Structure formats: structure tokens, C-alpha cells
């Protein structure tokens, strides 16, 4: 912090007090800011990235719950908010978010890691003088993302602003005592970085999970094949042969599109894959935690593992893990809770589990038998229809052959081609 104050004159050098602001940041704001930066970059738009932050302020506690991008204008060679547009947009957001009632708590923009710059002061002063005297500034650091030096920390900083007196006579005295005079101190706007925490509501958890699953399961579909198959016929293909050839070519072009459609997952498949992936990750994490606990217990001194080992056996304690009694108490509490998860009567539990499995297998077997009976009934019905038609055909042929002389009687006893076809 001292290094930043030396490099950036807008950073406050005063020590932070215990009554500083407490900021709670919601993930929806991060999604909105990242979406705005992405659209601004892909569209190759010019100008700064500026947006407003909505939330609640209760004393020294501030929540940042929503955000929206702002329209800017240039006034006297300074970039500021478009007053009329901003007030209309802010009133719309307040009307939408009435429960709980949200208000303007600050604004966001892209900042270097050193902190705010003089170019950001006009907008900040405009918000301080017009809307909120304690507005905060959220600075996003894209350079930290590109450099890969972020680690587990979010690439952003939150600042509060205060007017502090500038001491211009400190370095001008040259170490000599001078007469004290009443000099009017000049107040300058300074920024101080604030700690923040990330809070998530139930609705935000659903939206963030939907965005994560949609981004992870996104499938690129090439529509050129379908467009080529659906293009109108040329006037030259008016003949029958050419029309048939064009239909064959269309069917041949449609086959690759069907093959490609087979690789596109449905919504149910995506949800199933996401659920199985989450369960697999949970199992892997549980397994790694159990291995970590087992490894920690294995590296403890022998006197902590077994009561039969004398106390003076471990002469060299450097090869053992340092004993942490709080961790040991946590492990003991975890072991005491296992009795609630594992049934006391394991034999009865296994028997009940086996009976449940047998019931499920019995239901499956009954379903298979029912389907087989249904198939047999369908087969018998079809056989009876065919047999009835055959007997009626035979009776008809005999009746027709009885009155047609020797040819009729001879023909009545021999099957013709028509009989085979029917």
C-alpha cells in the first residue's frame, strides 16, 4: 500500500481506521462487468468503460448487488456521465428493484493496478456531488488477468474516497524552524482501498450455475449444411431425371447434417452430465481430504497414535509432523459424527438393503414378463387374423371350383400365383 501511495498521488497515505466501510460484492455484478468488457472489446468500441453500481448502504456496510453500463459525454475536455440519460436509467433500475430497495452506491471502470488516475476524477466528483456523498469506486484490472499473476484473488479493487488536507510546507522548510502562521489548507480527493467479501444469494447461485453449465456444455453447430440442403432448385433441373438426381443429392447432403445432429446433446443429457460431473468432483474432493487426514495421522509421533509406545521413543521429532491439537480435536469430532451416518446394526442394514434390491429386481422382472405377455398376445392376434383370412380364402375357392366343371374342380385343388400374393 505504501508503494502504491508513492507511485500514485491519488492514493491516501493515512492509516485505515476500524470504522472503514465493509463491502459485500455479489457475483451478478462480476458477470455484468465481464459481459460489458467482452462486448466492448469484441465490437472494437472506443471510449472508456464506465458503469453504475446498485446496492444497499446500512451505516458503514455496503452491498453491491446490481450494475449497468452508462452513457458518457464530453464536457469541457472532460469525460462525464450523460446527466439526463443517467437519471432516467437510474430511476428505471430503482423501479424494477423495489424489494429490497436499491440505490446508487458507486461506479466501476477499468483501472491499472496502481489505482485511480486523474482522468477518473470528473466522473467520481459528479457522482459524489449529485447522487451519493460516500460513493465507492470498483476498479477492474484486465492486465492482471492477461499477465496471469492473479492466482486465487479476483482482478479488482474497491476504493472509498475522502477529502484530505495536503501539507505543502513539509518539504519547503528545509529543516529550519519558521514562524507558525494560519495557512488555509487545500483539500484534495484521495482514495483508500477497501477489503471486500463475496456473498451469494439463492437466486444468484441458480443463475451462476446456469451460466457455468451453459459455458461448459456449449456446442458449436454449423448451419451451412442445412442451408445448402434447403436451397431452391435451379431452373435447369426441370426435367424428371434431373429432379430425381437433385433429390438424391439433397438426401446425400442431409445425411452429414443428421450425423452432426447426433453429436449435439439435448438439454436432459447436458443436465445429466453436469450432475454426474458434480458428483464425481465431490467424490474426488472427499477422497483427497480423507487421504490428507490419513497422511497427517500417519506422520504423527508414535506416542499420539498408540498408547503402548513409551514416551521417550521419538528422540528426533524433526521427522514427524508438528502436533496441532485443534486439528486433532476436529478429527475426533468428525469421527464422533460418523456414528450418525453409519448405522449401529450393520447386519440389519445390509439385510434391509438387500430386500430393497430384491424388490427393485422383482419389479423389473414383472415388467419384463408383462411386456413378454403383451408381445405374445399381439402375435396370437395377428396369427388369428391371418388364419381367418386364409380359411375364408380357401372356402371361397372351393365354392367357386364346385360349379366350374373339371377345370373348376382341378383349379380348386391347386394354389395359383394370386393365392401366394395374398
Per-10-residue mean pLDDT, the chain, length 422 = 62 73 89 90 89 91 92 88 92 87 93 89 92 92 71 82 70 50 68 89 72 56 45 47 50 53 74 87 90 88 71 58 86 81 75 91 94 93 91 86 49 45 42
Cell numbers 431425371 correspond to what residue? 241
Distance CA 137, CA 145 (A): 19
Helices (H), 100-201: 121-130, 142-147
Does residue 27 contact residue 198 with C-beta atoms inside 8 Å?
Answer: yes
End-to-end CA distance of the chain: 96
Going by their DSSP bridges, the two strands 78-81 and 103-110 should be labelled as unpaired
Going by their DSSP bridges, the two strands 186-194 and 72-75 should be labelled as unpaired
Residues in the chain: 422
Distance CA 22, CA 198 (A): 11
pLDDT (0 to 100) of residue 235: 45
Does residue 12 contact residue 164 with C-beta atoms inside 8 Å?
Answer: yes
Instruction: Pick the closest to residue 200 from 28, 23, 68 (CA basis).
Output: 28
Residue 247 half-sphere exposure toward CB, CA atoms < 13 A: 7
- Burial bucket for residue 79 (CB in 10 Å: 0-12, 13-18, 19+): middle
pLDDT (0 to 100) of residue 232: 47
Peptide bond into 100 cis (omega under 30): yes
Instruction: Pick the closest to residue 23 from 51, 52, 65 (CA basis).
Output: 65
pLDDT (0 to 100) of residue 150: 47
Distance CA 138, CA 161 (A): 11
Q: Where are the domains of the chain?
A: 2-166+187-204, 220-232+239-264, 343-381
Helices (H), 222-345: 224-229, 240-262, 267-298, 302-305, 325-341
- CA R_g for the chain: 40
CATH architecture of 2-166+187-204: 3-Layer(aba) Sandwich (3.40)
What global pTM score does this model have?
A: 0.51
**Alpha-carbon torsion (283, 289, 295, 298), positive or negative:** negative
C-alpha cell at 63: 452491498
> What are 3-10's contacts with CB under 8 Å, separation 24+?
4/114, 4/115, 4/193, 7/114, 8/114, 8/115, 8/116, 8/117, 10/115, 10/116, 10/117, 10/118, 10/121, 10/189, 10/190, 10/191
Distance CA 116, CA 106 (A): 14
C-alpha of 188 from chain center = 43
Amino acid at each position: 500500500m505504501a508503494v502504491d501511495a508513492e507511485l500514485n498521488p491519488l492514493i491516501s497515505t493515512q492509516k485505515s481506521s476500524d470504522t472503514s466501510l465493509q463491502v459485500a460484492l455479489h457475483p451478478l455484478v462480476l458477470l455484468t462487468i465481464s459481459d460489458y468488457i467482452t462486448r466492448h472489446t469484441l465490437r472494437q468500441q472506443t471510449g472508456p468503460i464506465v458503469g453504475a453500481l446498485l446496492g444497499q448502504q446500512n451505516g458503514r456496510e455496503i452491498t453491491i448487488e446490481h450494475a449497468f453500463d452508462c452513457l458518457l459525454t464530453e464536457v469541457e475536455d472532460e469525460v462525464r456521465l450523460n446527466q439526463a440519460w443517467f437519471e432516467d436509467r437510474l430511476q428505471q433500475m430503482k423501479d424494477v428493484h423495489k424489494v429490497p430497495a436499491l440505490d446508487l452506491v458507486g461506479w466501476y471502470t477499468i483501472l491499472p493496478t496502481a489505482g485511480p488516475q486523474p482522468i477518473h476524477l470528473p466522473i467520481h466528483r459528479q457522482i459524489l456531488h449529485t447522487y451519493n456523498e460516500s460513493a465507492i469506486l470498483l476498479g477492474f484490472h484486465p492486465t492482471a488477468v492477461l499477465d496471469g499473476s492473479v492466482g486465487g484473488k479476483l482482478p479488482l479493487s474497491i476504493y472509498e474516497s475522502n477529502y484530505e488536507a495536503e501539507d505543502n510546507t513539509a518539504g519547503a522548510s528545509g529543516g529550519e524552524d519558521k514562524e507558525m502562521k494560519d495557512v488555509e489548507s487545500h483539500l484534495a480527493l484521495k482514495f483508500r482501498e477497501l477489503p471486500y467479501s463475496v456473498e451469494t444469494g439463492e437466486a444468484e447461485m441458480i443463475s451462476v450455475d446456469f451460466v457455468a453449465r451453459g459455458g461448459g456444455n456449449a456446442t458449436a453447430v454449423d448451419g451451412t449444411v442445412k442451408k445448402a440442403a434447403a436451397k431452391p432448385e435451379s431452373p435447369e433441373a426441370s426435367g424428371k431425371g434431373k429432379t430425381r438426381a437433385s433429390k438424391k443429392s439433397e438426401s446425400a447432403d442431409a445425411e452429414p447434417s443428421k450425423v452432426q445432429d447426433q453429436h449435439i446433446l439435448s438439454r436432459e443429457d447436458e443436465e445429466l452430465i453436469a450432475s454426474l460431473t458434480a458428483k464425481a468432483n465431490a467424490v474426488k474432493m472427499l477422497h483427497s481430504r480423507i487421504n490428507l487426514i490419513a497422511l497427517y495421522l500417519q506422520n504423527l509421533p508414535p506416542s499420539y497414535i498408540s498408547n503402548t509406545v513409551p514416551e521417550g521413543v521419538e528422540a528426533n521429532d524433526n521427522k514427524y509432523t508438528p502436533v496441532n491439537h485443534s486439528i486433532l480435536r476436529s478429527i475426533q469430532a468428525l469421527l464422533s459424527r460418523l456414528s450418525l451416518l453409519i448405522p449401529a446394526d450393520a447386519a440389519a442394514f445390509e439385510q434391509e438393503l438387500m430386500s430393497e434390491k430384491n424388490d427393485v429386481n422383482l419389479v423389473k422382472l414383472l415388467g419384463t414378463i408383462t411386456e413378454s405377455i403383451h408381445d405374445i398376445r399381439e402375435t396370437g392376434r395377428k396369427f388369428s387374423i391371418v388364419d381367418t383370412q386364409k380359411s375364408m380364402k380357401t372356402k371361397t375357392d372351393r365354392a367357386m371350383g364346385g360349379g366350374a366343371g373339371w377345370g373348376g374342380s382341378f383349379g380348386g385343388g391347386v394354389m395359383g400365383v394370386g393365392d401366394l400374393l395374398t
